[in-house]
Amino acid sequence: MAYESSGAPDYFNIDDLLTEEHLLIRQTMRDFVKREISPKIEQWAQDAHFPSEIVKKFGDVGAFGPTIPTEYGGGGLDYISYGIIMQEIERGDSGMRSTASVQGSLVMYPIYKYGSEEQRNKYLPKLASGEWLGCFGLTEPDFGSNPGGMVTNIKDMGDHYLLNGSKMWISNSPECQVAVVWAKNEEGRIKGLIVERGMEGFTTPEIHNKWSLRASCTGELVFDNVKVPKENLLPNVDGLRGPLGCLDSARYGISWGAIGAAIDCYESALKYSKERIQFDKPIGGFQLTQKKLAEMLTEITKAQLMVWRLGTLMNEGKATTQQISMAKRNSVDMALHIAREARQIHGGMGITGEYPIMRHMMNLESVITYEGTHDIHLLITGADITGIQAFK
């Protein structure tokens, strides 16, 4: 079929809306994933192993901070390029995309957007190259959807800040060299700080026994009277808009990334439906299987059109937080539904590591919750269209 010729479903010729550079970037990332991730990801997930060596490889291929200017080691690319990169990585695995997404949108972005020139020059090139891995400390054990309630705090000690508190469910934390951490000052204002590994009192315990994102490393950030130099404060941001601005960038990446997971499940189901014989013919010839496949492709196509339009708005500086919320929620919900339908098409084989379905399904159970839960994003849209906040 013509729409499969590019190696991904493109039923509405959306490739015609992409530039030659976009298509080249997609092919480069697709080749990288096929070479460096796909052959090993099932074993990594089974073993709950985070492949530390992938960090430098991501840096080499340009997966970290694609929209950051080249003078700081970034790619200097547009937001559609960034989305395409996230889509291709998540076709491989959501945990691998999380690693890249956190590095680019939640560590490099705030340092670039809110940091000083000295901070940009010190941290961004090392993060872009993969020499350093970073993480983002916002969520706490008791404050997830309500980040404004955080208790992690800093006190001004004259020549440094004293940081106390903890963060939970932090991607990359056990392996990080640097963390962008959000904490309240003595006036109760939220501030961003750059915390480096090796600072006394700073530890990163790993979270074990996850059924989801098993090839990604997840942990805590614990701060016990950590002395943070004054020059490590992000100077150009104040209040909750700082971390929320970072989340906009990350959620945008997820809106593309989750489509990658959906595409991988759909393509596996389509291939299997043509090969699996029951009642003397391929199961792809049965009406109920065709219904599943046709609905999968419809939903993927709708999501592709939404994120392309969102990427265009991002490039023009017009995208709103609420539009990004809607796209993130739609893409992940769609991908989870497709993973479940694809599992049924695969029958019993769908639960095995011979196929990627269950791994994607388990991963997406995290993606639908992190960086704004499914329900919170719905309420963000609801508040936007009614003018009434439902959070309180």
Calculate the alpha carbon distances from 292 to 51, 265, 273 in Å: 35, 12, 11
Q: Is 229 in contact with 160 (CB distance < 8 Å)?
A: yes
Number of helices and strands (H, E) in the chain? 12, 9
Residue from 273, 292, 291, 304 nearest 8 by CA: 304
Q: Is 217 in contact with 174 (CB distance < 8 Å)?
A: yes
Q: Which of 36, 90, 140, 371 is catalytic?
A: 371
d(CA 61, CA 31): 10
d(CA 338, CA 108): 32
d(CA 178, CA 196): 4
Q: Is 58 in contact with 99 (CB distance < 8 Å)?
A: yes
Q: Is 155 in contact with 161 (CB distance < 8 Å)?
A: yes
d(CA 352, CA 187): 53
Longest dimension (CA), the chain: 80
Residue from 112, 133, 113, 108 nearest 58 by CA: 133
Sign of the torsion formed by the C-alpha atoms of 146, 152, 158 and 160: negative
Strand-strand pairing, 202-203 and 160-171: unpaired
Q: Is 267 a catalytic residue?
A: no
Residues in the chain: 392
Residue from 152, 144, 110 nearest 372 by CA: 144
Task: Determine if residue 295 is left, alpha or beta; phi over 0 gives left, psi from -120 to 50 gives alpha, anything else beta.
Answer: alpha
Q: Residue 128 — φ and ψ, nearest 5°?
A: -65, -40
d(CA 70, CA 98): 22
Supply the residues annotated as catalytic: 371
